[in-house]
Structure 1
Amino acid sequence: MAKKRIAAKRSKKNKETSLTKLVVFSVLALVFVLLSVVAYQYRDGVLYYLGYKSKHSNALSPKERELHDIRIYEVLTTYKEKTIGIDVSQYQGEIDWSEVKKIDGSFVVDFVIVRSTAGKDKVDEQFTSNWKNSKGKYIRGAYHYYRPNENSLLQAENFIKTVQLSKGDLPPILDIEKLPKTQSIDSLKVGLRRWLKKVEKHYKVKPIIYSGESYYNDFLKDEFSEYTFWIANYNFWRKEMDSDWLLWQFTEKAQVTGIKGMVDVNVFDGIKLELMDECVK
C-alpha cells in the first residue's frame, strides 16, 4: 500500500510538473507572438532607436499602402492650416519639379529639403538639379548626412563648398542617425559640435539638427538644446508633433506626383510666414 501511495504521489507530481511546464510554455509563446506583432507594427521606430533608417521601397502590399495612405491623410488633415513639405535625395531619382505641387492631390507642398552631401567627400547625385529646380517655388533647405566615423571638420568643409545658401533658404541642416563604431558617444558629440560651429561660422546662422526621436531623446536633447530640431517619428500612434520640435517627419512612404517611388513628408506647426522667419535673412 505504501508503495502504491508513493507511486500515486509521484504520478500526481509529474502531472503537475507537466501542466506547469505547459502553462509556462503557452504564456511564453503568447508573449512572443504579442512582441512580434508590436515589433512589426512599430518596426520603423525600432529601427530608428537602433540607429537605422529603413530604405525607401515600393514593395508595399495593397493593405500596407492603404494603411499608410490613411495615416498620411489623417496627419495632413490635422495640419492642413499649417505648413507642409517634403525631403528628397538621389534615391528619388530625377524629379519632374513642374509636377511637384500637392500631396494626395489636396495638400500643398510649401517647402522642400534636399540632401546635399554625406560624409567627408560625397555629393548627392541629384543635389545640383534638385537645388536649382526647387529655388523660388518653395522654401528650400539643404542637409548633410553625417557619418560618425569620419572627420567632422572635413564633413563640414564638404557641405560648405557644395551648398550656397540664399536669403529665404532654411538654415543648414545636420542629419545624424547612426551610432559610432570606432568612438564613444562623447567623442561623437564633440564631432557634431565641431561641424555645427564651423558651419554656423561660415553661414552666419545656427544650423538645424535632424534625427530620430529616440536618438534625439537619448543623445541630443539636453546637450544640444540651443539648436532647433527636425525629428523623425513614423509610429502610427503619434498624431501630433511635440512643441519643442521645429519640424516633424512623420512618414517616408508618401506618393507625390512628379516623383518616382516614395517620399518623406514633414510638417511645421505654423503658417508659411512663420517658417520663413526661421530662414536665412
Structure 2
Amino acid sequence: MAKKKSTSKKKQEIPYKFIFIGVITIVLVTFTVHYRHGINYWMKTVSRKLKGDTENSVEKLTKYDVRNIEVMDRYYLKTFGLDISQYQGDIDWAQMKTIYDIYPINFVFIRSTMGGFNTDKKFDENWEGAKQNDFIRGAYHFYRPDENSTAQAQNFIRNVNLKSGDLPPVLDIETMPRTQSMERLIEGLKNWCSIIEDHYGIQPIIYTSDKYFENFLRPHFEGYIIWIANYNFFVEDMKSHWNFWQFTEKAQIKGTSYKVDVNIYNGTVDGLKNLTL
C-alpha cells in the first residue's frame, strides 16, 4: 500500500513541474522579446570583445544599459542629450558624440551653480567644451530650499552668460525644505524664476522628480517647460507633460569613465532649437 501511495504522489507532481517550466519559459520569452534591442546590442558587444575589439565596446554592460537601449530605441525619432557636472571628471568632448555608438547626442545641460554662493568646479570648462563641439547647451542651478532665493538667482546670473542658441536656464529642485514650509518654498522658487526671466528674457525650465512635481509643484508652474527625472526600470513611456525625460543615471558613453544621465527631449532637433534664446 505504501508503494502505491508513493507512485500516486509522483503522478500528481508531474503536472505542477510542467506548469512551472511553462511559466518560466513564458517569462523568458516575454523578457527577450521586450528587451530584444538591448539584448541584441549586448550580444554584438560580447562578439566584439571576443574578437579583441574593446575600443568600440562599453566597458561592462549591465541590465541598466539593456533597458536604456530599449527606451532609446522606442523614442529613436526624438532628441537625446546629457546632463553633466564636475562628477563626470575631465571630459574628452571630441569622443562624446553618441550614446552606445548608436544615438547621437544633440544637447548637454551643464551644472553651473548651487545655492547662493557655490559654483560647479568644472562649469567653465564644460560650458566652453560643449560650445566648441557644437552641442546645444544649457545651464542648470541646483536649488537649495533653505537658502535665500534672490541670492541663488544672483549666483546663477553672476556665473552664466547665455548667448543666442543656448537653452533657457534650468531650476533644479529635488530636496525638501528643513527650516521652512512648502508654501514658502514655492514662493522662493517663483521668485527665482521671476528674477531669472527678467534678466535673460526667457522663462526657465523646471527640473524635478516625477513625484516631487506631482505632489508639490504642478499647480504652481503651469505653462513652464518641464524636465522630469524618473529612473524606474519598468517605466518606458513619457507622460504628456514631460518635455524632457531623464530616464537613467547609469548610462555609459565615450568621453568619460563615469556614468552619466541621459535625457530625451520630446520633439525633434528643430523643435529643441526653437526653445533656445
Alignment of 1:225-240 (within 5 A): 225-240=222-237
Deviation at 1:66, TM superposition (A): 2.0
Once the two structures are aligned, what percentage of the paired residues are identical?
47
Which residue of structure 1 aligns with residue 238 of structure 2?
Answer: 241
The separation in 1 between residues aligned to 2:187 and 2:267, in whole angstroms, is 33
The separation in 2 between residues aligned to 1:184 and 1:161, in whole angstroms, is 28
Select the residue among 77, 80, 86 that pairs with 2:76: 80
The separation in 1 between residues aligned to 2:216 and 2:109, in whole angstroms, is 24
The separation in 1 between residues aligned to 2:275 and 2:205, in whole angstroms, is 10
The separation in 1 between residues aligned to 2:201 and 2:115, in whole angstroms, is 22
Which residue of structure 1 aligns with residue 112 of structure 2?
Answer: 116
The separation in 2 between residues aligned to 1:75 and 1:205, in whole angstroms, is 31
Q: Deviations over 1:196-222 (max 9, x none)?
A: 000000000000000000000001111
Which residue of structure 1 aligns with residue 143 of structure 2?
Answer: 146
Letter in 2 for 1:147: R
The separation in 2 between residues aligned to 1:92 and 1:271, in whole angstroms, is 27
Which residue of structure 1 aligns with residue 123 of structure 2?
Answer: 127
The separation in 2 between residues aligned to 1:164 and 1:126, in whole angstroms, is 15
Deviation at 1:65, TM superposition (A): 4.8
Which residue of structure 1 aligns with residue 215 of structure 2?
Answer: 218
* Structure 1 gaps, min length 5: 1-63
Select the residue among 149, 162, 166 that pairs with 1:165: 162
The separation in 1 between residues aligned to 2:200 and 2:241, in whole angstroms, is 24
The separation in 2 between residues aligned to 1:126 and 1:115, in whole angstroms, is 9
Which residue of structure 2 aligns with residue 41 of structure 1?
Answer: none
Letter in 2 for 1:202: H
Alignment of 1:6-155 (within 5 A): 65-135=61-131, 137-155=134-152
What secondary structure sits across from 1:222 in the alignment?
helix
Q: Deviations over 1:77-136 (max 9, x none)?
A: 011121000000001111111110010011110000000000001110000000001015
Q: Deviations over 1:25-60 (max 9, x none)?
A: xxxxxxxxxxxxxxxxxxxxxxxxxxxxxxxxxxxx
* Structure 2 gaps, min length 5: 1-59
Letter in 2 for 1:165: L
Within the alignment, does 1:156 sit opposite 2:138 as a pair?
A: no
What secondary structure sits across from 1:99 in the alignment?
coil
Within the alignment, does 1:204 sit opposite 2:201 as a pair?
A: yes
The structure with higher relative contact order (CA 8 Å, sep 6+) is 1
What secondary structure sits across from 1:135 in the alignment?
helix
Deviation at 1:226, TM superposition (A): 2.5
Moved runs in structure 1, 4+ residues, more than 4 A? none
Alignment RMSD (CA, Å): 1.0
Q: Aligned pairs, how many? A: 217
What secondary structure sits across from 2:165 in the alignment?
coil
What secondary structure sits across from 2:62 in the alignment?
helix
Q: Deviations over 1:1-42 (max 9, x none)?
A: xxxxxxxxxxxxxxxxxxxxxxxxxxxxxxxxxxxxxxxxxx
Query: TM-score when scaled to structure 1?
Result: 0.76
Which residue of structure 1 aligns with residue 55 of structure 2?
Answer: none
What secondary structure sits across from 1:91 in the alignment?
helix
Alignment of 1:246-265 (within 5 A): 246-265=243-262
Select the residue among 181, 192, 196 that pairs with 1:195: 192
